[in-house]
A and B are shown apart, each in its own frame.
Chain A
Amino acid sequence: MSVPILEMKNITKEFPGVKALDNVSFKVERQKIHCLVGENGAGKSTLMKVLSGVHPYGSYDGEIYFEDKLQDFKSTRDSEQAGIAVIYQELALVPEMTVYENVFLGHEICKGINVDINETIKQTVEILKKVRLDVNPSTPVKQLGIGKQQLVEIAKALSRDAKLLVLDEPTSALNESDSDNLLDLLRELKEQGVTSILISHKLQEVIAIADKVTVLRDGASIVTLDAHNGEVNENVLIKHMVGRAIENIYPERKKKKSDQVVFEVRNWNAYDPARERQILKDVNLELRKGEVLGITGLMGAGRTELALSLFGNPDNYRIDGEMLIGGEPVKFNHPEKAIKAGLAYVTEDRKGDGLILIQDVKSNITIANLKRILKYGVIDANAEIKDAREYTDSLGIKTPSIEQKVLYLSGGNQQKVSLAKWLYVSPDIMILDEPTRGIDVGAKFEIFTIMNKLVEQGMSIIMISSELPEILGMTDRIYVVSDGKITGELSTEDADQEIVMRYATM
């Protein structure tokens, strides 16, 4: 057996009220792809932050050996210098800067005190070849899609001669082909000697790519499995992660299909003056009472824009077309009006425009419907605590208290807070934009169960998702969007991945 490149021994990390890591030991062998899986809040990101020095030496207990040396990283700079590159889910690129500037940001190639642009570009081209990214190095990063930006991040890591690459949920925001591309790249880098640690909630991709898999649960490492002797499959992973087996991740719904149309959009066009682009073309759709309607398509097809244009149009698109709720024409000039009319929109980007991270769980849950706890304009603090407790309990939100800042919750629990916030407005129509992004199987199952309960109670749900399996598993009907147009309407019974993809690329 080869010497491990990384060994973390007995790591314990506590936050006020939370023991995020409890005596975790973690060993990574050289030139392997080592996956790290576990439920939301299991401590995966925290373990990697301990490794990279985000949580500096001294703020945790335990020892880190990297390349056979005991390390005491006091900042990310130290770990970078040692050859560890961490790519977080929130990309750390400067959008206004060009690709080559980003790649060499922080360790510019200089001639004297001037940056040697020609040399930088030359080296960038070489590195971009390695990551198989075919763009002009002088393109501003903001003009690239998220998949390509991800590759720029990796290029950045390679430019620093990273020996160990850590990727925290790199594929959660990528579509299938970008994901595949990224995974292929990791394999290739492995051949060239780079070791990777990959955190992911997509178990299929874990199974496809891993040499080893470590499962964390409640801050403890449960098991490390070798992927090459057949002991890794989805059920085994789920069982280790959740502690129990989940038979069917898409729970059965007693289908009460209704034909009553509750929401309808006709000849809907939207133009975005900021991007000077027509983003929606002649969209027609209808939503029936008690159904889960899927909207899918490739990234950038205009699904989120569609949702925003319906939900009070906060980005000020120029819109024409008709919207009807319960047969009555409606017009919203602000999300406030949409909420009043019974709509709710759980955003795709929960950190960016979903939650107020610096505020606590309870204020986030009540913010969209303060009316419920107001008496003469004054907030009834006790009623608020009571309601917030009720919602955190019923959604199973894991938090030390409802006074915890949302910032400190794990991704899945943040997503549940978003959901709680919108359930708190008791909407009739709920738009869920990528509701399972970055959340674990257990939580997915719970969210699906909640969705089923809601539609059985008569709510109608529009579920926007790029994950075809969950679109096929959860919806009654599907609209496929491509380039701002609806290219297909399918009954889920007749749909499969191939058909959907055909419409999506039309």
Chain B
Amino acid sequence: MSFFKEFLTLLKKNIRDYGMYIALFVIMAFFTIATDGIFISSRNISNLMNQMGYIAVLAIGMTLVIVIRHIDLSVGYLAGFLGALAAIALTSWNLPVLLVIPLVLIFGVAAGLIAAVTIAKFGIPSFVATLAGWLIYRGALLRATLKTGTIVIPNDTFNAIGNGYIPDLPLEGFLPGTHKLTLLLGIIGAVLLVISEIRSRKKKMAYDFEVLSKNMFIVKTIFTIILLGAVTYVLAGYNGLSWTAVIVLSVTLIYHFLTTQTFLGRHIYAVGGNPEAAELSGISVSKITYVVFGSMGMLSALSGMLFASRLQSATTTAGQGFELDAIAAAYVGGVSSAGGVGKVTGSLIGAIVMMSLTNGMNLMGIDISTQYIVRGAVLVAAVVFDVATRKQRA
């Protein structure tokens, strides 16, 4: 097969994924030009990552919820409420940060499991069950912040989660103005990636399985390295990698691994693809529902803490509308409400796309009313593209 032909088949096969990357690239390029380069500046990109963190983790959890044919409307206010809980634990109960974080995460899991009970055990539609959650957590949030209104969090460690950056290597005079540890991590990441790609290719060839041609493989790998390099370079130009970015990347990697490489992921997608068949294949649909909603609850807690930490306080409106942003990000990222389809990496990209739009339009000074309309249009366009490319492949 000629190189070009292989490229075309590859493109055709993965049109949905590549389409999203291309769209992201176009959006970024557009804003870069429209803002005379401010958009792509290290400072702004770094900021963007921090702004999108709390939506990105929700979108990742939401992906799985939608994959198993459910929805969770409660995540926004649950995040808000748990953020407030963290604030109270830190300020009123004077608990140490390292205890508060796991504690709040556990509360999140518990909240998710309660939703799962009503859905899996009592058979209430998830839309209704989590709508009830939306109301309840909204009330809980108001109650938690009733006395003081906004709860200010005077804890530097906690606030670093949403605002801080990883420390740099103590190398005075070497590459001034760049964040050396970030560069180093980027390089290590790239090397590991290349090694694992080569190894998996070798192994596949040993089994006589189909692999990309050598040229195509090299091009693809180089392309990935350039991409990784560019992101690293941009980030290293400012304060380096933020803790939020570290958290989001870790969550993405863990969930990506779980969903694509483990039995748990298979079970989740099987339940989403055909629950009856999954049940008869020995997979407990209700167990999977518990796991997925439990994870959603945990990520809501994480999101709530990221947001509270970013604002260095818990407010009465924290979490408002997060659920809708998360759902939108997941759909832009290619999940399907018919179930069984959608990747967590897609949802991360979806979250980046949506946040880039907000951030870019803010920089351009575009009115908020227009912003909503544009984001709505992008959401529809993404899903239309999704449906169309899926049909074409059929």
Contact = CB atoms under 8 A, between A and B. Distances in A.
Interface in B299-355: 340-341
B284 interface: yes
A367 interface: yes
A379 B261 contact: yes
- The dominant DSSP class at the B interface is helix
Nearest to B266: A370
Contacts of A359: 269-270, 273, 340
Among the interface residues B261, B262, B277, B279, which one has the most CB atoms of the partner chain A within 10 A? B277
A334 B284 contact: yes
Nearest to A353: B276
Contacts of B341: 358
B157 interface: no
Contacts of A401: 210
A355 interface: yes
B340 A421 contact: no
Given A377-B262, A379-B261, A385-B207, A368 B276 contact: no
Contact of B280 (A347, A382, A386): A347
A379 B276 contact: no
A311 B281 CA distance: 10
A335 B266 contact: no
Contacts, number: 83
Interface residues of A, number: 36
Given A16-B393, A370-B263, A379-B261, A356 B282 contact: no
Interface in A375-410: 377-379, 381-382, 385-386, 401, 408
Contact of A335 (B209, B273, B280, B393): B280
A339 B282 contact: yes
A276 B76 CA distance: 42
Given A335-B282, A378-B261, A353 B203 contact: no
A358 B273 contact: yes
A374 B263 contact: yes
B362 interface: no
Contacts of B204: 382
B340 A355 contact: no
Contacts of A355: 274, 277
A351 B284 CA distance: 19
A368 B281 contact: yes
Contacts of B393: 16
Given A374-B263, A382-B207, A314 B279 contact: yes
Contacts of A334: 282, 284
Given A358-B341, A359-B340, A377-B263, A367 B284 contact: no
A334 to B, nearest CB: 6
B279 A335 contact: yes
B281 A367 contact: yes
Contacts of B264: 377
B278 interface: yes
Given A356-B340, A357-B274, A358-B340, A363 B280 contact: no
Nearest to B273: A356
B283 interface: yes
Nearest to A371: B263
Given A16-B393, A335-B279, A356 B266 contact: no
A378 B282 contact: no
A399 to B, nearest CB: 14
A314 B273 CA distance: 17
A128 B341 CA distance: 42
**Residue of B269, B273, B283 with highest tally of chain A CB at under 10 A:** B273
Contacts of A368: 281-282
Interface string B275-297: 01111111110000000000000
Contacts of B281: 335, 339, 367-368, 421
A408 to B, nearest CB: 8
16 contacts: A16-B393, A336-B282, A347-B277, A353-B277, A356-B277, A356-B278, A357-B273, A358-B274, A358-B341, A359-B269, A371-B263, A374-B263, A381-B261, A385-B207, A385-B209, A421-B281
Given A334-B282, A408-B394, 16 more contacts: A314-B279, A336-B282, A336-B283, A339-B282, A345-B280, A347-B280, A355-B274, A356-B273, A359-B273, A367-B278, A379-B261, A379-B262, A382-B203, A382-B207, A386-B207, A421-B281
